[in-house]
C-alpha cells in the first residue's frame, strides 16, 4: 500500500472495499467505517450497479469516501467504469494507483515477469471476461506467437480452456507455468508445472481464486531462486519456516 493510500484510509468517513485487500489492511479500518461491496468467484457477489450508486449516494451526503480495491484499480479492477460513473454524476474524485497483482504476485513468488534471458515483453490478460460477450476478445493465438510472459488474472476456473488454446496455437507444452494463490497473504501458496500438466497440478493442490497464472520461461527461474534461498536458510542456525505449496 502506498503512503498516500494509507493516509486517505485514515481520513475517510466510509471505505467501500472488495474482498481482496488483506486482513492486515482491513483490520486497520474501524468496522463502522467499512462496507463490503466485493465479489468472489462462485460466492458472495455485489452488483456493480449497486456499488456505483452507493459511491454517489455517500458523496452527495458530504462524506469522504475511499473505494478500496486489491492491487491497482485500473488493471482488471473495474476502476475505470466506476470513474466514468462518478464523472457522469459530477462527483469529484482522484485515483490513487496501487501495485497490480499481475506484477507484485509473481514477484513475491520469486518470478520476474521480464528477464534479460527469457522475456522482453509481458502480456496481461483477464481470465474472466464479461459473460455477456458472444465470444472472447482475447487472441490466444497471437499471444502464443508473441512470446514473452503471459500473466492471467482471475483465470483459475478457465485454466483448462486457455492452456489448451495456447497449445493449439503452437506454444510448447513444456512451457513453465506457475499458479500463485493469495499472493503476499500469510497463507500464500505457489504451485508450478507446465502448459501440459498445470490443470492436474491445480486440481492436485486445490488451487482456488484469487490466484494468478504466470506462463513463460520466467516461471522456470523460480526453482533456481528457491534453491538459493534454501541454501541460505540452511546456513542459519534456526531458519524460519515458510508457508507455501512447492511442486
Is 18 known to be catalytic? yes
Give the whole-angstrom CA distance, residue 45 versus residue 157. Answer: 17
Of the residues 69, 72, 154, 171, which is catalytic?
154
Helix, strand, or coil (residue 190): strand
Is 154 known to be catalytic? yes
CB atoms within 10 A of CB 84: 11
Residue of 159, 225, 169, 227 whose CA lies nearest to 193? 159
Helix (H) or strand (E) segment spanning residue 53 = helix 48-60
Q: Confirm if 89 and 62 have CB atoms less than 8 A apart.
A: no
Residue of 146, 141, 157 whose CA lies nearest to 199? 157
Of the residues 1, 19, 33, 39, which is catalytic?
39
User: Alpha helix locations (H) across 120-182?
Assistant: 140-146, 159-168
Is 53 known to be catalytic? no
Quick one: cell of 183? 499472493
DSSP-derived secondary structure letter, 175:
-
The catalytic residues are 18, 39, 154
Amino acid at each position: 500500500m502506498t503512503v498516500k493510500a494509507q493516509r486517505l484510509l485514515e481520513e475517510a468517513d466510509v471505505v467501500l472495499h472488495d474482498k481482496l485487500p488483506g486482513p492486515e489492511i482491513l483490520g486497520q479500518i474501524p468496522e463502522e467505517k467499512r462496507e463490503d461491496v466485493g465479489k468472489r468467484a462462485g460466492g458472495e457477489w455485489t452488483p456493480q450497479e449497486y456499488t456505483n450508486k452507493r459511491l454517489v449516494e455517500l458523496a452527495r451526503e458530504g462524506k469522504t469516501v475511499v473505494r478500496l480495491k486489491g492491487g491497482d484499480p485500473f488493471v482488471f479492477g473495474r476502476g475505470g467504469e466506476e470513474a466514468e460513473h462518478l464523472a457522469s454524476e459530477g462527483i469529484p474524485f482522484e485515483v490513487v494507483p496501487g501495485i497490480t497483482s499481475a506484477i507484485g504476485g509473481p514477484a513475491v513468488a520469486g518470478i520476474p515477469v521480464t528477464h534479460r534471458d527469457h522475456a522482453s515483453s509481458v502480456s496481461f490478460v483477464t481470465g474472466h471476461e464479461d459473460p455477456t460477450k458472444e465470444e472472447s476478445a482475447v487472441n490466444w493465438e497471437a499471444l502464443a506467437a508473441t512470446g514473452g510472459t503471459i500473466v492471467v488474472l482471475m483465470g483459475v476456473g478457465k485454466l483448462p480452456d486457455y492452456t489448451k488454446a495456447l497449445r493449439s496455437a503452437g506454444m510448447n507444452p513444456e512451457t513453465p507455468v506457475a499458479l500463485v494463490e493469495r499472493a503476499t497473504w500469510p497463507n500464500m501458496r505457489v504451485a508450478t508445472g507446465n502448459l501440459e500438466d498445470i490443470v492436474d497440478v491445480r486440481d492436485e493442490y486445490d488451487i482456488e481464486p484469487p490466484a494468478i497464472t504466470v506462463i513463460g520461461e520466467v516461471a522456470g527461474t523460480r526453482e533456481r531462486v528457491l534453491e538459493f534461498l534454501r541454501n541460505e536458510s540452511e546456513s542459519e542456525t534456526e531458519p524460519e519456516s515458510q508457508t507455501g505449496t512447492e511442486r
